[in-house]
């Protein structure tokens, strides 16, 4: 074989050997480009949150040119059904989103990677939120959002009725009194208060009345204590007795947010993620204050987190993406600018810009409420537990069972069906 032919064969063999490398994403310089699949539900396509998330990813990719992110947004209603199928088929994304309530269930199944060894500096995270994604001493995720509930109120309705605005020290009694005054002054079609009797509101309600649904160590249910029975009676009474809250039929197909935005509801307990919607769609002045309790203050701890699949072949890069999107100052600033919940961080410059945004005027109440966070009870059988509790709360609300009988039965069913 001549020298020319030998050289040609050498070149062809070299290209054949290199071809698989380029096919797997190697750059011409020989540097591998790792592709990370990222699936989530809170950054919706076509919304401010979705655009904010894409901006965050763009900054991350600019800072990490060796990592490419494939983003998929899935609607919340379908998200967990699809996620379970992917877990069974061992086809989960490298990074995916979980809410706090479902985190323990997935962590206990062994489908999440221990990311402790890949995490960088975590001092910028709110430590309460960070610890929420630690299970049995192992860090399986990082919080990407952090929020709570407050009392929203329609200032115009209070002004028209001549009733003083709610304050941070209000109790349930104050809410009921003001609601009756407003409804009496303004007539039919105006409602005083809305807070549904559901698992999420009830667990928080019992905390506001000195109770709890589980023992402090999580080893036993305590659903039918006197404090909890009283809480159920009072909360159901807002619709049944004082009737400051409309029934489903009286809502006429409207949701609680729609009723508030229509100007017909004086007070509403809901999450701070309502700020963007209410700012854009309320034609009246509104503000917020710390959520009222009965004998104590308490507010719902909401947090979504990013976790890494135990099956991921790129755990280090996946963790780097999760930590950047969740806790970097760059991503947090983008989140705040988009009014997309509260970033779970302690950066003063980022949080100060959040406080400067209006409405509401009393945005400081969001941070003051953090002193009263109460995480919901969480078990492996989370969906089944909450469904059982909800079913008995509905029996109380519709008058089918007394609060005592319903919670006694609920306690018994939980003990027989839910493993702790």
**Calpha distance 141→118 (Å, rounded):** 11
Residue 257 · residue 219 · CB < 8 Å? no
Both tokens assigned to 103: 């985190």
* Per-residue confidence in pLDDT tens, the chain, 420 aa: 544 444 433 433 343 334 443 333 333 334 689 999 999 999 988 888 999 999 999 999 999 999 999 999 999 999 999 999 999 999 999 999 999 989 999 999 999 999 999 999 999 999 989 999 999 999 999 999 988 999 999 999 999 999 999 999 999 999 999 999 999 999 999 999 999 999 999 999 999 999 999 999 999 999 999 999 999 999 999 999 999 999 999 999 999 999 999 999 999 999 998 998 999 999 999 999 999 999 999 999 889 999 999 999 999 999 999 999 999 999 999 999 988 888 999 999 998 989 999 999 999 999 999 899 998 999 999 999 999 999 999 999 999 999 999 999 999 999 999 999
Pairing outcome for strands 95-99 and 302-308:
antiparallel
The count of other CB atoms within 10 Å of the CB of residue 218 is: 11
For CA atoms 218, 221, 225, 229, give the dihedral sign: positive
155 membership: H or E segment, kind and range = helix 155-161
**Calpha distance 342→303 (Å, rounded):** 10
Written as one string, the DSSP assignment of 260-271 is: HHTT-EEEEEEE
Both tokens assigned to 16: 């054949």
Phi-psi category of residue 352: left, alpha or beta, with phi > 0 → left and psi -120 to 50 → alpha: alpha
In Å, how far from its chain's centre is CA 347?
20
**Calpha distance 369→289 (Å, rounded):** 9
Both tokens assigned to 179: 């609601």
**Calpha distance 176→326 (Å, rounded):** 39
Residue 233 · residue 403 · CB < 8 Å? yes
**Calpha distance 141→125 (Å, rounded):** 12
Reference 216, options 369, 374, 372; nearest CA is 374
Query: Hunting for tokens 């990719």 — which residue is that?
Result: 61
27: helix, strand or coil: coil
214: phi then psi, degrees, rounded to nearest 5 = -140, 155
**Calpha distance 337→280 (Å, rounded):** 15
Using only C-alpha atoms, what is the Rg of the chain? 26
Q: Residue 345 gets which letter from DSSP?
A: B
**Calpha distance 417→415 (Å, rounded):** 6
Length of the chain: 420
Residues 6+ apart with CB under 8 A from 179: 191, 192, 193, 242, 244, 266, 267
Q: What is the pTM of this model?
A: 0.83
């Amino acid at each position: 074989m001549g020298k020319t032919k030998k050289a040609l064969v050498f070149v062809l063999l070299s290209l054949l050997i290199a071809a698989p490398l380029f096919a797997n994403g190697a750059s011409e310089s020989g540097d591998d480009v790792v592709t990370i699949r990222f699936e989530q539900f809170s950054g919706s396509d076509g919304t401010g949150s979705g655009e904010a998330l894409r901006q965050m990813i763009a900054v991350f990719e600019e800072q990490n040119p060796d990592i490419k992110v494939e983003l998929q947004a899935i609607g919340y209603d379908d998200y967990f059904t699809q996620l379970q199928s992917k877990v069974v088929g061992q086809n989960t994304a490298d990074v995916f989103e979980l809410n706090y309530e479902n985190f323990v269930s997935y962590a206990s199944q062994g489908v999440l990677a221990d990311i402790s060894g890949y995490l960088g500096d975590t001092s910028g995270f709110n430590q309460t939120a960070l610890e929420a994604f630690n299970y049995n001493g192992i860090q399986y995720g990082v919080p990407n959002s952090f929020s709570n509930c407050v009392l929203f109120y329609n200032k115009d309705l209070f002004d028209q009725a001549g009733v003083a605005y709610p304050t941070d020290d209000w109790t349930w009694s104050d809410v009921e009194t003001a609601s009756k005054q407003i409804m009496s002054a303004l007539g039919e079609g105006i409602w005083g208060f809305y807070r549904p009797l559901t698992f999420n509101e009830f667990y928080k309600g019992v905390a506001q009345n000195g109770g709890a649904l589980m023992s402090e160590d999580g080893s036993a249910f305590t659903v039918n204590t006197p404090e909890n029975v009283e809480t159920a009676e009072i909360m159901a009474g807002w619709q049944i007795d004082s009737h400051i809250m409309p029934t489903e039929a009286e809502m006429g197909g409207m949701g609680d947010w729609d009723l508030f935005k229509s100007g017909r509801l004086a007070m509403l307990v809901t999450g701070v993620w309502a700020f963007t919607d209410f700012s854009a769609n309320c034609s009246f002045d509104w503000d917020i204050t710390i959520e009222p309790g009965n004998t104590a203050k308490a507010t719902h701890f909401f947090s979504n987190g990013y976790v890494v699949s135990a099956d991921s072949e790129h755990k280090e890069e996946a963790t780097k993406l999760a930590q950047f999107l969740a806790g970097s100052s760059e991503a947090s600033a983008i989140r705040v600018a988009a009014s997309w919940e509260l970033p779970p961080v302690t950066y003063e410059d980022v949080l100060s810009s959040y406080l400067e945004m209006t409405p509401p005027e009393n945005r400081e109440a969001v941070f003051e409420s953090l002193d009263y966070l109460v995480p919901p009870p969480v078990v492996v059988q989370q969906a089944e537990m909450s469904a059982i509790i909800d079913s008995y709360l509905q029996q109380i609300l519709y008058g089918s069972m007394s609060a005592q009988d319903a919670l006694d039965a609920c306690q018994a069913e939980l003990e027989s069906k839910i493993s702790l």
